[in-house]
Amino acid sequence: MESTNPVGSGANLLPSPTDDVLIRLVADYADDGSFGHRTLEVTKEYVRVLEPGDTPSFIIPIGEIKTARNEPLVGGGRLEIVTTRGEILPVISYSLTISAKFSEAARGIEQLAKSEPLLINMKEERLRCALCNRLLPEKDGVCPACVNRGKTMMRIAQYMVPYRKQAVLLALMSLVTTLLNLCPPMIQGKLIDTVLKTHTELPTLWWLMGGWLGVLATNSVLQILSGRLIAYLAGNIAADLRSSVYRAIEFLQLNFFDKKQVGAIASRVTQDTDRVWGFLVEGVPYLLLNGLMFFGITVFLFLTNPFLAAFILSPIPFVLGIGAFFWRPMSQMFHRVGQKWARFHMHLNESLSGIRVVKAFAKEDLEYGKFKTRNHELRDAGMAADGRWYTIFGAMTFFTSLGTLINWTVGGYLVYQNKLTLGEFWRITALLGLLYGPLQWFAAVNQWFSRAMAGAERIFEVMDTETEQYGKQDSHHRIEGEVEFTNVRFGYDKSNPVLKGITFTAKPGEMIGLVGKSGAGKSTTINLICRFYEPDAGTIKIDGIDYRDVALQDMRNQIGIVLQEPFLFSGTIADNIRYGNPSASFDEVIEAARAANAHNFILSKPDGYDTMVGERGSKLSGGERQRISIARAILHNPRILILDEATSSVDVETEKQIQEAIGRLIEGRTTFAIAHRLSTLRNASRLVVLEKGEIAEIGTHAELMEKQGVFYKLVEAQSAINEIIGVGTSG
């Protein structure tokens, strides 16, 4: 039995031709908890589990099943069935790798139990790379080992295309510079042989020196020009790369941002692009030039005197060998220093931004202790890396200097024997300096290249990630405001559905209050309306059209949102109010601010509407920021409005003002509101009460209170502590 690597081979849906098995999934844990295989089979009549060898170990008729679910465990999950008698039966355990599929299977079992049509998505996922059989970091993702480096290289090279003239010019100039660098040794050799040794032909000295001056001047001009060209190319290519990564990131689906930290995403725009252009603009010319020079000098040396050449080049394998052998451990050590720096920074950041807490708890010494540990870790890692570095460098220097020593020994002997002129000897000595210098770094080139490639792959990964479905550009549909949910299911993580079949319709102009405990699915419902995420199953229609058929930006242009923690961009207050409608006149801005009850407090600021608000609008109070964001929504003039806990973080007096403003804002718009204080939703046309991802009740405030159901209980629980303030009551 192939019990070893079950991840790759497990979890296939194999529609069997012989019987009517509807779902067949292979789990990756055996009954005793070891890694192994067990198979779940679902037919119209029963659910059963087969042990290896097809012996059934569990069976239950569909008729006895009430519900089925994925019970999350630590590091895995378990399919559980609740029987019609209310018993919970654990059926089969599996790792997190395949739990999403079993969650779908649980849904399927439930559908069968309720005699509904079987509607589940059992798409097969690739867990291993088809080429090299490595596990894939992301299911159905790209295999980082099999990414075609040639292809990546070509894609990077495309960024050079707009600047190809400059690039070619740069290459030519570099070539000329290389050739010119070889001139002074030649001139010196010639001078020694024709003038210095013979003490004749003085004019040749002047001629040669004149030539040398010419070479120097040309070289300097070329260096200035190529330096400026490199600056031009580097600047442009870096900017282009950053733009295209940023642009790609902007259009990514939100779940990409859920999975990754902001810092990690930002580093793709900064660090990864740096690596790529650094390699393009500095690495490639370096390789090209030094490669050429190395080749040229070697040929020249052998032409001059093969015997001497063989001798003086003999330490080169050692230099290259040391480089190749020690580079990897060396770079790992530097990488470790980098990581220690990151930890050090993190702690420094944390303790400084939490300085109030540190002082309040009088924990300066404790924080200093932590700081000292990090600081010493950094010191030790740095010392180890630098120590190693100087050791290797010293060893390398020995071998490079050995080349010179050999040159003088063997060369000196040859000159003494008159087998080599003094001029030739001098030329060789001078060229040797040009040869050994860059050689030390050749070993680093592979590393350099790998890092640039890794950076490029991360960049292209972002660019190749699926973007949001933007639909037909430029098409416009004026939204009336009817929003219809039909059996909508959704989960951020597919194995854990948050919404489990939501069906309701909001009529144009209605205000729908979404109510429920935290985790019931209120914010998720709103995320779906904004189409930050799309339903896993079921449809959401706007004015009777499936909203996936509406152009995304056109749709979002007609949706306004007021969040609990309003985000203001750095800029003036007026800029922020205009954000959704940059062409609005100043008159309109003031009008919107008045409607949002913001005008007065804005006027009380020294700079009025020109007051700068910093990152997150830190100079304003929560209530002020909230009113600016309401003014922003008013000016945006959306057809569908979303209020997500818009009043929960302010005091009662401010809340009253905000409620007034909201009352003006919601007029004539379909509004979805979440509010923690249930009484604030009294004026909602209808309330949708959510419980564990399902709709428990729908009705007006009065109806639900009369019914004395779930909502009534929630209000009862809250009424003791909450002020009664109605949404939409002006004054």
Binding site for another protein (CB under 8 A): 3-8, 29, 33-36, 67, 73-76, 78, 82, 86-90, 93, 95-97, 134-138, 144-145, 147, 264, 332, 339, 342, 454, 457-458
Find tokens 């419902």 and name the residue. Answer: 525
Residue placing its CB nearer to another protein in the complex, 9 or 43: 9
Angle between helices 422-464 and 316-353 (to 10 degrees): 40
Give CA–CA dist 350/345, Å, rounded.
Answer: 8
Phi/psi at 451 (5° precision):
-65, -40
CB of 454 to another protein, least distance (A): 6
| Nearest residue (CB) to another protein, 169 versus 454 | 454
Question: Tokens standing for 492?
Answer: 């951020």
Q: Is the dihedral of CA 95, 101, 104, 108 positive or negative?
A: negative
Q: How far is the CB of 709 from another protein (least distance, A)?
A: 17
CB 444 within 8 A of CB 327: yes
CB of 89 or CB of 254, closer to another protein: 89
Q: Output the CA angle 638-641-642, nearest 5 degrees.
A: 145
Q: How far is the CB of 137 from another protein (least distance, A)?
A: 5
Are the beta carbons of 141 and 13 closer than 8 angstroms? no
d(CA 265, CA 246): 10
Burial zone of 575 (CB within 10 Å; 0-12 exposed, 13-18 middle, 19+ buried): middle
Nearer to another protein by Cβ, of 93 and 351: the residue is 93
CB of 493 to another protein, least distance (A): 9
For residue 189, what are the contacts with CB-CB under 8 A and spacing of at least 6? 423, 424, 426, 427, 430
CB of residue 244 vs another protein: minimum separation in angstroms?
Answer: 20
Report the residue number, 93 or 629, with the smaller CB distance to another protein: 93
- H or E element in which residue 47 lies: strand 46-51
Cβ closest to another protein, residue 58 vs residue 490: 58
272 alpha carbon, distance to own chain's centre? 11
Quick one: DSSP state of residue 194? Answer: I
Closest distance to another protein from the beta carbon of 95 (Å): 5
For another protein, give the closer residue by CB, 260 or 541: 260
10 Å Cβ neighbour count for 330?
Answer: 19
Q: Name which of 88 and 310 has its Cβ closer to another protein.
A: 88
Residue 457 or 484: which CB sits closer to another protein? 457
Neighbours of 663 (CB within 10 A): 17
Minimum gap (Å) between residue 65 Cβ and another protein: 13
Structure tokens at 355: 């300085």
Reduce the DSSP state of residue 35 to 3 states and report it.
strand
Q: What residue type is 442 in one-letter code? A: F
5 vs 570 by CB, closer to another protein: 5
Closer to another protein at the Cβ: 33 or 606? Answer: 33
**Residue closer to another protein (CB basis): 2 or 565:** 2
User: What's CA 326's distance to the chain center, in Å?
Assistant: 32
Q: Which is nearer to another protein, 1 or 303 (CB)?
A: 1
Nearest of 590, 529, 527 to residue 555 by alpha carbon = 529
Q: Which residue has the tokens 């057809």?
A: 639
As measured in angstroms, the least distance from the Cβ of 34 to another protein is 4
The neighbouring-strand residues paired with 688 are 514, 698
CB of 76 to another protein, least distance (A): 4
C-alpha to C-alpha distance for 496 and 519, rounded to whole angstroms:
12
Q: Which is nearer to another protein, 451 or 489 (CB)?
A: 451
Provide the sign of the torsion angle of the four alpha carbons 166, 172, 173, 174, taken in this order: positive
CB of 33 to another protein, least distance (A): 6
Shortest distance (Å) from residue 5 CB to another protein: 5
Instruction: Give me Rg for the CA atoms of the chain.
Output: 36
Contact 633, 699 (CB under 8 A): no
Decide the pairing of beta strands 670-674 and 640-644. parallel
- Residue 68 near residue 113, CB atoms below 8 Å: yes
- Residues 171 and 153: their CA atoms lie apart, in Å, by 18
Find the shortest distance in angstroms from Cβ 31 to another protein.
10
Q: Provide the minimum distance between the beta carbon of 152 and another protein in the complex, in angstroms, as a whole number.
A: 11
CB of 251 to another protein, least distance (A): 23
Task: Report, in Å, the least distance between residue 516 CB and another protein.
Answer: 16
Name the minimum Å distance from CB 94 to another protein: 9
Alpha carbons 448 and 655: distance in angstroms, whole number: 58
- Give ∠ CA 500-505-510 in degrees, rounded to 5: 130
Q: Is the Cβ of residue 141 or residue 438 nearer to another protein in the bound state?
A: 141
Q: Which is nearer to another protein, 220 or 373 (CB)?
A: 373
C-alpha pair distances (Å), 80 with each of 35, 43, 685? 20, 17, 39
Between CA 355 and CA 69 the distance in angstroms is: 46
Q: Report whether 567 contacts 625 (CB < 8 A).
A: no
